[in-house]
Chains A and B, each alone.
Chain A
Amino acid sequence: MSKIIKDIYKFFIISILLILFILPVTLFADTSQCAECHTNPVKLIRITREYAQELAPLQSPEQEGEG
């Protein structure tokens, strides 16, 4: 009987440890919108085109010579 209790206890401890180890990784892993867009070139091309139209130019055309 005591062996069964010990085995259950061991199983319980190992399970808790596994959960503690895996949970943070799972929580932090963004399988969400960030990865969905930033790993999808087709989406990115569309979005960055839309976004680029709203952006002001970064550099003045009056620039001349080497910096």
Chain B
Amino acid sequence: MEQLAPHEKVFVDPSFIEEDKKHGNLGCTFCHGGDPNNPDYETAHSGVRKDPSYPDASGTCGICHTDSVKHYETSLHYTLEPYIRTIKMRSSRDNAKREKINTAMERHCLTCHSSCGQCHVSRPDPAHGGLLESHIFKKEPLMQEVCTSCHGSRVGPEFLGMNEGIPADIHRQKSYFKCTSCHSSVEMHGDGVEYANRYEVATAPECESCHRDVYTSQGENTTQHTIHKDKVSCQVCHAMPYKNCWECHVGTDDQGLTFFRTKATKMDFKIGLNPARDERHPEKFVTVRHIPVDFNTFSFYVEDGLSEFNMLPNWKMTTPHTIRRETPQNSSCDSCHGNESIFLSLEDVEEKYREANKEVIVPKELIPAKVGK
């Protein structure tokens, strides 16, 4: 996505002030502070809060939008708990090393938060910010300026069909879905529970919320759906290949500016074992994606910082946004059954990462046998 010009980032549409009776009437300083009577822009902006909703929205948005803001601090967009928790689990138990990892995390990973303002008023900071529509409040965040401006390496291009040879997700192509068609405001705003990851979130989308009849006699292809229920996730049959990333290494250059380097990405489709089967995700087989973290992600800051790397797999359970009714693996029974190439095998995983992925690698004997159809 193209960045906004500097003046576009801060241009305020006069109609916002004149016509938005709720927000425009409040006046700039009510939310942003600063000195409105000072003609010198440098001193006038002293103390200005660029994003008045972060880190605490209770004194601004929360005054009226009490329900949305009440649990905002438990939203994964705010807590970034999955990053924190998984890196912590992989980190050395040595406190000095952990401190250095924390510093690196603060600089490189934890800047990717969002807030009320950075979804409803401006583009998020990690996407270089700038007002969405000249400060006009957007009740529903704009998908490509907000959601996929951050989720723009994997999920966004997958959903929109921007990866060569892979069509857009059928929900997008056929029904012109947006992120908000499935991801509710409660899921985004938090519900008061501090979840470890998005799969735990009670209000996370589920295919069956819309596809209610897949296991009933009224549904299409009920036999296949019933046979495979709780054995494979929906994505195992209905996802097209998706993006996998390798070796994200972070550091700072001579001027102290942060950078990351990742290896080339690869479109692939792999079925792995579900490492955390539970009531909501009882399936034995799930799609897995290679994630960018590796042993040396933080080596610029500390050697051997992720010494407990093997605590978690780096082929991670995933829900790709490349859904199609017909896919190569569901074109016939034996497109999947006995097709070793689509199951995550020992050979797919570098030797040094096999221990970390032992719970998701599919042993050959667990690959369903060919059925001859």
Contacts and interface: CB of A to CB of B under 8 A. Distances in A.
Interface of A: 25, 28-30, 32-35, 37-39, 41, 44-45, 47-49, 51-52, 56-67
A67 B11 CA distance: 29
Given A66-B265, A67-B260, 10 more contacts: A29-B27, A32-B37, A51-B6, A56-B255, A57-B257, A58-B257, A60-B252, A62-B259, A64-B261, A65-B261
Nearest to B34: A34
Nearest to B44: A33
22 contacts: A28-B27, A29-B27, A30-B27, A30-B29, A30-B36, A32-B36, A33-B37, A35-B12, A35-B17, A39-B12, A39-B13, A47-B7, A57-B255, A59-B257, A60-B252, A60-B253, A60-B255, A62-B259, A64-B260, A65-B261, A65-B264, A66-B265
A33 B36 contact: yes
B262 A64 contact: yes
B235 to A, nearest CB: 21
B29 A63 contact: no
B38 interface: yes
Contact of B14 (A39, A45, A60): A39
B137 to A, nearest CB: 15
Contacts of A29: 17, 25, 27
Contacts of B260: 63-65, 67
A20 to B, nearest CB: 16
A25 B25 CA distance: 6
Contacts of B12: 35, 38-39
Contacts of A59: 257-259
A65 B28 contact: no
Interface in B25-54: 25-30, 32, 34-39, 41, 44
B302 interface: no
A30 B248 CA distance: 46
B11 A39 contact: yes
Contacts of B13: 39
A40 to B, nearest CB: 9
A32 B68 CA distance: 31
Nearest to A24: B25
B17 A39 contact: yes
